[in-house]
Amino acid sequence: MTVMEQRGAYRPTPPPAWQPRTDPAPLLPDAEPYRVLGTETAAKADPELLRTLYAQLVRGRRYNAQATALTKQGRLAVYPSSTGQEACEVAAALALEERDWLFPSYRDTLAAVARGVDPVEALTLLRGDWHTGYDPYEHRVAPLCTPLATQLPHAVGLAHAARLKGDDVVALAMVGDGGTSEGDFHEALNFAAVWQAPVVFLVQNNGFAISVPLAKQTAAPTLAHKAVGYGVPGRLVDGNDAAAVHEVLTDAVRRARAGGGPTLVEAVTYRVDAHTNADDATRYRTDDEVETWRAHDPIRLLERELTDRGLLDEAAIQAARDDAETMAADLRARMNADAELDPMDLFAHVYAEPTPQLREQQAQLRAELAAGQEGAHR
């Protein structure tokens, strides 16, 4: 037999164990971010839901403005504003049932507030009087997470544990575009997919990780496309369209609750303010760009839809604004009161029982405080 004949007899076959894990097509996101407002779909949306979303958006915008003002007065150490992203924040909270859990990042105070956390308690971390101001179990809101994406595996573990216990609880985990570059984002998506954990990942793609634009963050077609690699459906939504974000998240939550596994949602939005009050956004973006996004403002989009359809009148708009103003005045008043801190709290919550070493240090601080009160030393 000639060499050519031998070659002719050879039939390449895939390795024995090879088979496609899953069909990628149904997992792929749409080409364009999903929108409801200004489309025919809007007519099918529940008017009551839209009005609630509107009131929460107005309230959220005012909250962002008030918190930013408080940084200027020195009442807050720092505030990462979510102005322009309120639709994502509000929809995140409203898409969940009471028994579900929210895992916010440091920018998502507003989502926590919309879920019922006291506005002052939600700002405790940023005020600097304690790390988490609220009891996470009260409203099922995990502590605001400062390290990027590290809260995502927590959401997966909690959802997994709930399912093991037979509870139909869903976890919604929020992360920014920058956070999708972190290893924990990958590990969380992968664990969630393998375990089919009832988790929804919401990426708020607001354009920048502090100053670094998305193009320098990822080469993926969209962040929603990342889902396919995990065997998870990716959804792309207009993050400034509150009705669309709410619908997509609600679908994903329902799917997770029914045992359908995780979903990755990318909400395309924009951070109109700087990263925090300490950031100078003019160094990395133009006013023109910001103005384009202001024209696509989430409140304006929803207000337009509601007024055009006769679902919102001037009185209702004013009522929403008044409600927001009352919230802001209350927040201002309570934040202007000095926090009362107990220095002995430093040792109270390190371990269930303080170690002998901490007891010694506790005694030392107690003595220092006593001496300080007598005016002996500073």
Partner 1 sequence: MTTVAVKPATMAQALTRAMRDAMAADPAVHVLGEDVGTLGGVFRVTDGLAKEFGEDRCTDTPLAEAGILGTAVGMAMYGLRPVVEMQFDAFAYPAFEQLLSHVAKMRNRTRGAMPLPITIRVPYGGGIGGVEHHSDSSEAYYMATPGLHVVTPATVADAYGLLRAAIASDDPVVFLEPKRLYWSKDSWNPEQPQHVDPIGRAVVRRSGRSATLITYGPSVPVCLEAAEAARAEGWDLEVVDLRSLVPFDDETVCASVRRTGRAVVVHESTGFGGPGGEIASRVTERCFHHLEAPVLRVAGFDIPYPPPMLERHHLPGVDRILDAVARLQWEAES
Catalytic residues: 271, 275, 284
In angstroms, the CA 39 to CA 41 distance is: 5
Which of 187, 251, 323, 325 is close enough to bind partner 1 by CB under 8 A?
Answer: 187
**Of 135 and 287, which CB lies nearer to partner 1 in the complex structure?**
135
Total residues found in the chain within this entry: 378
* d(C-alpha 266, C-alpha 238), whole Å: 8
194 touching partner 1, by CB under 8 A = yes
Name which of 278, 129, 156, 149 is nearest 203 in CA terms: 149
Of the candidates 255, 276, 280, the one whose C-alpha atom is nearest the C-alpha of residue 265 is 255
Give 124 or 217: the residue with its C-beta nearer to partner 1.
Answer: 124
Residue 259 sits in the site that holds partner 1 (CB under 8 A): no
Q: What does the alpha-carbon distance between residue 236 and residue 248 come to, in Å, rounded to a whole number?
A: 9
Tell me the C-alpha distance between 117 and 122, whole Å.
Answer: 6
Q: Does 166 bind partner 1 (CB under 8 A)?
A: no
- Element of type H or E holding 122: helix 119-122
Residue in the structure block whose two tokens are 């003019």: 282
- Name the minimum Å distance from CB 108 to partner 1: 16
Helix (H, G, I), strand (E, B) or coil at 53: helix
- Binding-site size for partner 1 (CB under 8 A) equals 40
**75 contributes a contact to partner 1 by CB under 8 A:** no
Interaction of residue 97 with partner 1, rule CB under 8 A: no
Question: Closer CB to partner 1, residue 183 or residue 343?
Answer: 183
Using the minimum distance from each CB to partner 1, give the nearer residue, 141 or 224. Answer: 141
User: What is the nearest approach in angstroms of partner 1 to the Cβ of residue 80?
Assistant: 18
Q: How far apart are the first and last CA of the chain?
A: 98
Amino acid at 377: H
Of 63-71, 127-135, 272-280, 291-299, the window that binds partner 1 (rule: CB under 8 A) is 127-135
* 323: Cα within 13 Å, side-chain hemisphere: 15
Counting contacts by CB under 8 A, is residue 260 touching partner 1?
A: no
Q: What token pair was written down for 92?
A: 């995140």
For the chain, the C-alpha Rg in angstroms (whole number) is 25
When asked if residue 141 is in the footprint of partner 1 (CB under 8 A), the reply is no
Q: Which stretch binds partner 1 (CB under 8 A): 43-51, 107-115, 179-187, 243-251?
A: 179-187
Our finding on whether 131 is near partner 1 (CB under 8 A) is yes
Longest CA span, the chain:
105
Amino acid occupying residue 341: L
Contacting residue, 32, 46, 97, 135, with partner 1 by CB under 8 A = 135
Tell which residue, 250, 279, 280, has the closest CA to residue 265.
250
Query: Cβ of residue 121: shortest distance to partner 1, in angstroms?
Result: 11
CA distance 358 to 45: 57
Sites for partner 1 among residues 294-353 (CB under 8 A): 345, 348-352
Q: Does 155 bind partner 1 (CB under 8 A)?
A: yes
| Residue 72 vs 131, nearer CB to partner 1 | 131
157 lies in the site for partner 1, by CB under 8 A: yes
Strand, helix or coil for residue 339: coil
Choices 17-25, 86-94, 140-148, 315-323; region in contact with partner 1 by CB under 8 A: 140-148
Tokens of 65: 């403005």
Task: Kindly list the residues in this chain that would bind partner 1 in the complex (CB under 8 A).
Answer: 130-132, 135-137, 142-143, 147, 150, 152-162, 164-165, 171, 183-184, 187-188, 190-191, 194, 345, 348-352, 355-357
